[in-house]
Structure 1
Amino acid sequence: MSVSKFMSKNVISLNQDQTVEEAAKIMIEKNIGGLPIVDSTGKLVGMITESDFIGQKVDVPHALVSLTRLLGQTHHKGSVEEIFEKAKSSKLSEVMSTNVDTISSSADLSEASSIMLAQNVSRLPVCDDGNLVGIITKRDILKSFSK
């Protein structure tokens, strides 16, 4: 079964000049866990996900403390509220992940699930010739079992 049969085609995306606050509002209003970021031509340039708002552990070789990366900032025991307040007006280009795994619409669902598992991600932007054409999530793959 191909990705194109199960992906969401009407993807909400943002541009890199929009703010973190705008992204957060859209994610809450639309109940989605991640947003692709595209340039003016529709080419994927990044992603912002719930993980960016929750924080990710940063491995620092030989460090005695662990650090957290939250909305483009690395901190140790800093105030999350302070970081959120500073980041609200930040442009998405400053905080988005740019090394984003993608998949082609003609790829097989098993390839999508393998990438998600290997990269520990819940969604993959679907791109053909670099252009965003959809998104496939773990839930979309789950739906394939009911058909």
Structure 2
Amino acid sequence: MTATGRTAADIMTREVVSVAQDDDVQTVAKRLLESGHHNLPVVDKDGKVVGMIGERDLIDANRQIHLPTVLSLLDSVIPISGWREYEEELRKATAVTALQLATPKPDVARLEDGVEDLADRILKRNLHTLPVVDVDGRLLGVVSRSDILRALIQES
């Protein structure tokens, strides 16, 4: 099965459910659940994609924060595990808005990206959805795993 010659413009979903960067986390959770999607693009006031927010982000935001294990040596604190993980957990736990909780600078697709490239990126990066943007970064649509599968099946 191949979808040779087809692009994001051909297979993307144009009616996109998104959230505004200033939406509160409760609004985001409600919108995500109502949409039935795994992830939603976060857009600024100009419609530019500034992040992606998903089920995992919302679950992480509601988990307890685990302090990193540290070793105290000669008046120094040396992390044995995960300052970065701790900072990420803390960021999510204290998030008030969609932008604060979202994964910033998400991977995006362009209209001309081929289906095979999109499939490869989604699988290798374990993504559910790629926002499709114009040259200015404004949201035009999304390509999901389902869109790619549909394109591949139509070609066979």
Q: TM-score, normalised by structure 2?
A: 0.73
Could you tell me how far 1:72 is from its partner in structure 2? 3.1
The residue type paired with residue 80 of structure 2 is A
Could you tell me how far 1:24 is from its partner in structure 2? 0.7
Retained in 2: the 8 A contact 1:71–1:95?
A: no
Give me the identity figure in percent. Answer: 28
Q: Secondary structure at the match of 2:110?
A: coil
Find the counterpart in structure 2 of residue 72 from structure 1: 91
How much is the aligned-residue C-alpha RMSD, in angstroms? Answer: 2.7
Could you tell me how far 1:115 is from its partner in structure 2? 1.3
Structure 1 unaligned runs (5+)? Answer: 74-82
Cα 1:63–1:115 shift into 2, 3 Å: same
Find the counterpart in structure 2 of residue 77 from structure 1: none
1:38-68 CA-to-partner distances (Å, cap 9, x unmatched) read: 1111111111011212339xxx896257957
Q: Is 1:146–2:153 an aligned residue pair? A: yes
CA distance in 2, matches of 1:62, 1:16: 33
Retained in 2: the 8 A contact 1:47–1:97?
A: yes
> Which of 88, 91, 98 is 2:97 aligned to?
91
Could you tell me how far 1:94 is from its partner in structure 2? 1.4
Please say which structure displays the higher CA radius of gyration.
2
Matches within 5 A, 1:93-132: 93-129=99-135, 130-132=137-139
> Which of 66, 80, 88 is 1:63 aligned to?
80
Q: TM-score, normalised by structure 1?
A: 0.77
The residue type paired with residue 29 of structure 2 is A
> Which of 18, 32, 45 is 1:27 aligned to?
32
